Structure 1
Amino acid sequence: MPDESHGAPTPYAPPAPGAVTVYRGAIVFDGTDRPPRRAAIVVDGERIRHVVDETELPAVLPDGAETVDLDGRHVTPGLIDAHQHLATPPDRPRAEAVLRRLVHSGVTAIRDMADDVRQIGDLARATLVGEIPGPDIHYAALMAGPSFFDDVRTHQVTRGAVAGQVPWMQAVTPDTDLRIAVALARGTHASAIKVYADLDAATVAAITAEAHRQSIPVWAHAAVFPAGPREVVEAGVDTVSHVTLLAHACAAQPLTTYRDKPPIDYARLTAGDDPVLAELFALMRRTGTVLDATAALWASAEMTGGGPEAAERARQNSDLAAALTAQAHRAGVPIATGTDYETPPDDPFPALHEELAFLVDRCGLTPEDALRSATAVGARSAGAQQLRGTVEAGRLADFAVFDEDPLQDIKHLRTVHLTVKRGRRHARADFEAGR
Structure 2
Amino acid sequence: MYNRWHTYKKPRAMKKIKIVLVIAFCLTFVCQINSQEISKNSIALTNVSIIDVESSQELENMTIIIEKDKILSINPSGSIDLKGITNKIDLKGNYVIPGLIDSHVHLFRPKNRKEILTKLLYSGITTVRDMGGDARVYQSLNKEIGQNKLIGPDIYYSANVFGPTFLKDPRTKFSNMGFEPGSAPWMRLVEENSNLEKIVLEAKEAGVTGLKVYSNVNAELLAKISNVAHKNDLKMWSHSSIFPSRPSDAVNAKVDVLSHSVGMIFEMESEMPFSFNEAIRISVPLQDFKNTDASSIEFIELFKKMKSNNTIFEPTLSAWSLKLRSEKPKANKSIEKVNPTKQLSNAANKMDVASMDNWARTITLSAYENGVTIAAGTDFNSDIKWVQDEIILLTECGLSSIDAIKAATLNNAKVIGIENLYGSISEGKYANLVVLTENPLNNIENIRTVLSIYKNGIEYKVNE
Amino acid at match of 1:352: V
1:185-239 deviations in Å (ceiling 9; x for gaps): 0001111111111111111110110011111111111111111110001101111
Identity %: 27
Q: Deviation string for 1:366-399 (max 9, x for gaps)?
A: 1111001111101101111111011000101011
Pick from 329, 332, 337: which aligns with 2:371? Answer: 332
Matched, 1:360 2:395: yes
Matches of 2:394 and 2:194, distance apart in 1: 40
1:295 paired residue number: 317
After superposition, the Cα gap between the structure-2 partners of 1:309 and 1:83, relative to the gap in structure 1 and judged at 3 Å, is closer
Provide the residue aligned with 2:338 in structure 1. Answer: none
Matched residues in 1 for 2:253 and 2:410: separation?
A: 24
1:282-327 C-alpha deviation (Å, 9 max, x unpaired): 1111111011110121126885668998386321211110111011
Distance 1:97 1:176, change over 3 A: same
Q: How far apart are residue 66 of structure 1 and its match?
A: 1.4
- For 2:181, what is the secondary structure of its paired residue? coil
Distance in 1 between residues matched to 2:180 and 2:92, nearest whole Å = 55
Question: Is the Cα–Cα contact under 8 Å of residues 336 and 374 in structure 1 kept in the other structure?
Answer: yes
For the structure 1 residues 199 and 422, does the alpha-carbon distance in structure 2 shift closer, same or farther, using more than 3 Å as the test?
Answer: same
The reply to whether residue 173 of structure 1 matches residue 194 of structure 2 is no
Task: Give the partner amino acid of 2:424.
Answer: T
Secondary structure at 1:329's aligned position in 2?
A: helix
Q: CA deviation at 1:171?
A: 0.3
Residue ranges of structure 2 left out of the alignment (5+ in a row): 1-36, 329-344
Structure 1, unaligned stretches of length 5 or more? 1-15, 431-435
Q: In the alignment, is the contact (CA less than 8 A) between 1:116 and 1:157 conserved in 2?
A: yes
Q: Indicate conservation of the 8 Å contact 1:90/1:157, yes or no.
A: no
Could you say what secondary structure the match of 2:441 adopts? coil
Instruction: Give me the whole-angstrom Cα distance separating, in 1, the residues matched to 2:453 and 2:122.
Output: 6
Aligned partners of 1:303 and 1:314 also within 8 Å: no
Per the alignment, residue 283 of structure 1 pairs with 305
Match of 2:97, as an amino acid? Answer: T
Counterparts of 1:378 and 1:128 in 2: how far apart (Å)?
21
Name the structure 1 match of 2:291.
Answer: 268
Aligned partners of 1:228 and 1:255 also within 8 Å? no
Q: Distance in 2 between matches of 1:100 and 1:378?
A: 20
Shift of 1:342: 6.4
State which of 20, 33, 49 in structure 1 corresponds to 2:55.
33
Partner AA of 1:333 in structure 2: V
CA contact (8 A) 2:38 2:85 kept: no
Aligned to 1:13: none
| Aligned amino acid, residue 353 of structure 1 | Q
Contact 2:318 2:324 in 1 (8 A): no
Report the residue type matching 1:372 in the other structure: K
Q: Is the 8 A contact 2:110 2:381 kept in 1?
A: no
Aligned to 2:386: 351
Q: How does 1:77-92 map to 2 (within 5 A)?
A: 77-87=98-108, 89=109, 91=111
Q: Structure 2 residue aligned with 1:400, among 434, 439, 458?
A: 434
| Other-structure match for 2:353 | 314
Where 1:339 maps in the other structure, the secondary structure is coil
Equivalent residues in 2 for 1:195-214 (5 A)?
195-214=213-232
- Cα gap change, 1:283 to 1:412, in 2 (>3 Å): same
Distance change in 2, residues 1:85/1:302 (3 Å): farther
Q: Distance in 2 between matches of 1:157 and 1:62?
A: 54
Are residue 249 (structure 1) and residue 267 (structure 2) matched?
yes
| Partner amino acid, structure 2, of 1:78 | G
Cα displacement string for residues 84-136 of structure 1 (whole angstroms, at most 9, x for unaligned residues): 0000x362xx2112211111111111110111111112112222332211111
Computing the radius of gyration over CA atoms, which structure comes out larger, 1 or 2?
2
* Secondary structure in structure 2 of the residue aligned to 1:332: coil
Equivalent residue number for residue 12 of structure 1 = none
Amino acid of the residue matched to residue 402 of structure 1?
A: L
Evaluate the alpha carbon distance shift between residue 344 and residue 180 of structure 1 in structure 2; reply closer, same or farther with a 3 A threshold.
Answer: closer
DSSP-derived class of the 1:340 partner: coil
Question: For residue 433 of structure 1, what is the aligned residue in structure 2?
Answer: none
CA distance in 1, matches of 2:152, 2:73: 25
* TM-score, scaled relative to structure 2: 0.83
Who is 1:129 aligned against?
147
Q: Note the alpha carbon deviations across 1:137-176, whole angstroms, 9 max, x for none.
A: 1111111112212211222211232221111111011221
